[in-house]
Structures are given as structure tokens and as C-alpha cells.
Structure 1
Amino acid sequence: MLYGKLPIVFLSAIAAEKRGSINSTIATYILGHLDSMKNIGIKEMAENCNVAPSSISRFCKEIGLNGFVELKDLLQSTEFDYTGFSEDISIDNRIHTLGEHIKTSIDMVEGSITTSKLMQLTKDIEQYDEVAVFGLLKAQTAAIILQSDLLMLRKQIYTNISYAEQINYIVNADSSHLIILFTYTGSYFDYDNQRNILKGKDIPKIWMVTGQQKEYPKFISDTLTFSSRQDYASHPYQLDYVASLIGQEYAQLKKE
């Protein structure tokens, strides 16, 4: 997994909320004062954010945490890290090196993606009336690309930036729904406390589009995988390419 749970839930909350809303204010303040927040109490945090303690508790619940205790655990354990791909002294060389790496990552997708799976996913999109597509942080760009391409092809599908809202949609979906998850490392459900959230219910059909081939929860219906280095430099370009391929094949399907 490239990202910890804290940036996942906080950045999705900031992106999904109206600027200046209570949740946006809390998330923005915490991310801007991480070092001083690690050993803070709920009352002091509320004072620093200029909100009531009850607003902090409600914020925790609404972004998908169990409560303030889990928030404190995240604040104490999360480390932010960015891995640069090239440290060459020349900016031109750094630009070239990263560009070549991205091109290679696209070639890896082209040479490894299973066309029969790609076609089946495209047919499923055509078949289902209720279709949703989700991703976390940079993976959400692939979701938006697919949503935009399909809209131009007169197929409306749903997406939402908030991870809590994504999980809520998945939990409440049934067999009439198709859900597509773009997840570079395949760790989409690792951020949620209930990995078996769909156990024993009328579950939706879920496709996982990922660069990681591993064992997934039993409620994952199928996977569309591709070869990947699983590094920062290849992400989200591989997923974005796959999203464009799905849109292209859907357009081809509609011509037939």
C-alpha cells in the first residue's frame, strides 16, 4: 500500500466537503498541524479547530473512523513520505527519466492486460443500469476518466471522492449494481475496519482493476490485472490508461 489510512480519509474528506464546512475545517487544520496533534485531547483539538467537541466526534464517524480514539492512533502512527524517482542534478535529465519510466509503465499494461477480461468488463458496464466506479486519492482520477468517457457515450455511472461515501454505497448495493474499483496496489478494502462488509448479503458484482495479483475478499467478483512495478512513478498513469481502454472498448461495443 502506498498510502496510510489518515491521508486517505482526510484528503477525501477535504475534496468532498464544501470549503469552510466543519469537516473541511477540522481535516485541514489537523493536516496542517500533524506534529502538535499527536498527543492532543478531544477538548483541546476542538478549541484549536474552533468547534465543539461533539463536532470532532461526529467528524470521526463521518469520515469512516470508529471514533476519536482511532483518530488519535492514526495521528500517532502515520508518517508521510514521498519517494522521488530521480535525483539527477539536471532538471532536464529528471524530466526525461520520469517520462521514460511512465512510458515503460504504460507498455507494461499493454503487454500484460487480458483482453478477454477487458471485454467482459465492458459488456458488464453495458448490461447493468446501476454502475459505480471508485478509487482512492490518485486512483480516483481513473474513476473520473471512465465516468467522463462513458458520459460522452451516453452511459451515466456514479462516483464519489469520499471514501466513507464509497464504502456506504458498496454496503448498500445489491445484485442489481455493478461496482468497479480502481486500486493500484489492491489494498482498497485494507483501509476499512470491516473487510467482510458484504458477507452474507445480496451482494453487487464488483470488479477490481489493479496492478497487484493477490488473494482478494470473496465478494470480489472478478479482477482486471496488469503488470506493475508498484512504485510512485507509475501511479496513477497505469490505472488512467486502463480507464481509457475501458472507455475505448465500450465505444467499440456500441458500434457493433
Structure 2
Amino acid sequence: MTIEELVNSHYDQLNENDLYIWQYIYHHKRECQKMSIQELAHSCNVSHTSIIRFCKKIGLDGYSELKVYLKWSLNRQFDFDSQIMRKVTDELKGTLDMMGNQDFDHLLKLIDEAKRIYVYATGEVQFHAAQEFNREFAYRHKIMHVIEGRTELDTVLNRASKDDLFILISLSGDNETIVLLSKVLEKMKIKTIGIGIDNGNLLSQHVSEYIGFKTSYFHTGFQDKSYCCTGHFFLIVNMLFLRYLEYCSLKEHQQFVLS
């Protein structure tokens, strides 16, 4: 079992602190493999006992075994599994089915009634998905302002109100910045829609509505790089816009009947 599989199998047992530790390890595997437990704790801004607890929670005996798993992960040969294509295809179909069949009336009502809509994304692909939101919904004269950078985010938050809506896009859903933003907006009682992986992540716990999708990581064979299909973001944007057109059509029809 890989370190990623260990974390996924024990994901429900991990708290916010554990997830921050995991995010650091996942993105710095090569560096962590050479670190002492004190050095890793310092890099994660936690105590060394927090690192030990994390190791225990994912089924390891301790930090030494974690380093063994990291070394194995970095050194193992790449062998492309022919089943990956089928799995990725099934996951994309799953997202399409979910977007076509799930009841999104409340979510669509949030979009329709919002005074202003802001989209904040973490990561390059997610940012392009945010721009696609703005491009598509402009066809219905629904402007979605894509926030670029922390400075603009601070400005937007200073003038945001309960009549506004924020769409938050994150692959893992555990990005520290976007989770903190979701908590701030929750305290401000501002409605939010989150989009990311469907695994009970932190973002999904602090937004008004959440659209989650299933996607699998696999190794590319290039150094220790992993890959997952991010096309789900664009499928969600495309399908959500179509669902919004359907929502508006039904709403206008009902208004016509009542008049």
C-alpha cells in the first residue's frame, strides 16, 4: 500500500492539523525523506508529537516507518496500469451523471438571487475554471468576478455583504488559504459554493453548498510526480451553466403562467 493509499484509507480519522501535515509531506516528499522529525515539525509549524500522532493515525508505527514509505514511493519504478484509462473515464462519466441528475435547485437559486458573485480558486487549472465560470454565465448577463491574488481578496472581503455569493474552487479542498476563507465567509453569514474532490475535506464542511467529484491520483513515471484528471472542473462549469439555463427557463415559464 502506498503512502497516499494509507492516508485515504484513514482519511476520516484525520483532523485539520493532520491534513496540513499531510499536504506538506505530499508536496515535499523528497525533502521530507531526508528530514528529522524535529525538522519536519518545524516546517509544518507543529510539535513533533503531532507528527507522531499523524503517523499512528494512518496505521504506521512511527516516523521511521513513514520515511520508509516515502523512500519506497520515490524509488519505485513506474508501471502504467491499463485500468487507469477505464477508471478515469468512469470517474468523468460519474461527474456528468451527477451534474445531470442531482437536485441543484437551492444552489441555482443562490446564483440567481446573488447581488454579486465572486469566484476564488487555488491552483492554475482551478483559476482557468473560474474564468470559464465568468465566460459562460455572461451569456445570461450573470457576471462572476474572478478574484486574482490575496490583495484583491482583502479588498473584496471589506465590501462583501450577505447578498453576495462566493464560489470557492480547490482540488483537494484542504488548501489552507481557501479553507480559512470559507470559515471567514461562514462567520460573515455570506453564502458559498465549494467545488473540489468529494472526500469529506475541510472546504466541504464550511460552505453552504458543495459540488464534489471523484478522481484518482496515479504516478506519471517522471520523478515522484503524481497526476489526477482535472477535467471535472470544466465539466462542472459547463453542466452547471446548462442547469442554470434550465432553471431560468422554468422560472420564467412559471411567472408567465401566474401572470
Q: Distance in 1 between matches of 2:179 and 2:248?
A: 40
Mapping 1:181-192, distance limit 5 Å: 181-188=168-175, 190-191=176-177
Report which of the two structures shows the higher radius of gyration computed on alpha carbons. 2
* TM norm structure 2: 0.53
Q: Distance in 1 between matches of 2:164 and 2:173?
A: 21
**Are the equivalent residues in 1 in contact too, given 2:169–2:195 (CA < 8 A)?**
yes
Q: Percent identity?
A: 11
- Partner of 1:243 in structure 2? 237
- Secondary structure, counterpart of 1:158 in structure 2: strand
**Runs of 4+ that moved beyond 6 A:** 1-4, 96-99
1:174 to 158, 161, 180: 161
Which letter does structure 1 place at the counterpart of 2:95? V
- Partner of 2:216 in structure 1? 229
Which letter does structure 2 place at the counterpart of 1:243? V
Q: Which has the higher contact order (CA 8 A, sep 6+)?
A: 1
- Partner of 2:144 in structure 1? 157
- Secondary structure, counterpart of 2:194 in structure 1: strand
Q: Distance in 2 between matches of 1:207 and 1:126?
A: 13
Mapping 1:70-81, distance limit 5 Å: none
State the 1:234 CA deviation. 3.5
**Are the equivalent residues in 1 in contact too, given 2:120–2:167 (CA < 8 A)?**
yes
Which letter does structure 2 place at the counterpart of 1:240? F
State the 1:125 CA deviation. 1.0
State the 1:163 CA deviation. 4.5
Q: Which moved more, 1:97-106 or 1:233-242?
A: 97-106
C-alpha RMSD over aligned residues: 4.0
Structure 1 segments unaligned to the other structure (5+ residues): 8-72, 75-82
Q: Which moved more, 1:110-119 or 1:232-241?
A: 110-119
Mapping 1:193-232, distance limit 5 Å: 194=180, 196-198=183-185, 200-201=187-188, 203-214=189-200, 216=202, 219-229=206-216
Q: How many residues are matched? A: 176
* TM norm structure 1: 0.53
Q: Distance in 2 between matches of 1:254 and 1:199?
A: 27
State the 1:246 CA deviation. 0.8
Which letter does structure 1 place at the counterpart of 2:211? L
Q: Deviations along 1:55-104, whole A, 9 cap, x unmatched? A: xxxxxxxxxxxxxxxxxx69xxxxxxxx9xx967xxxx99x998766533
Q: Deviations along 1:179-198, whole A, 9 cap, x unmatched? A: 1112221124x136956434
Q: Deviations along 1:125-169, whole A, 9 cap, x unmatched? A: 111121112211211122111111001222111112325534653
Which letter does structure 2 place at the counterpart of 1:222? E
- Secondary structure, counterpart of 2:184 in structure 1: coil
State the 1:173 CA deviation. 2.2
**Are the equivalent residues in 2 in contact too, given 1:207–1:223 (CA < 8 A)?**
yes
Q: Does residue 144 in structure 1 map to residue 131 in structure 2?
A: yes
Q: Distance in 1 between matches of 2:179 and 2:105?
A: 33
**Are the equivalent residues in 2 in contact too, given 1:105–1:234 (CA < 8 A)?**
no
1:255 to 240, 249, 252: 249
Q: Does residue 123 in structure 1 map to residue 109 in structure 2?
A: yes
**Are the equivalent residues in 2 in contact too, given 1:128–1:178 (CA < 8 A)?**
yes
State the 1:118 CA deviation. 3.1
Q: Distance in 2 between matches of 1:240 and 1:192?
A: 19
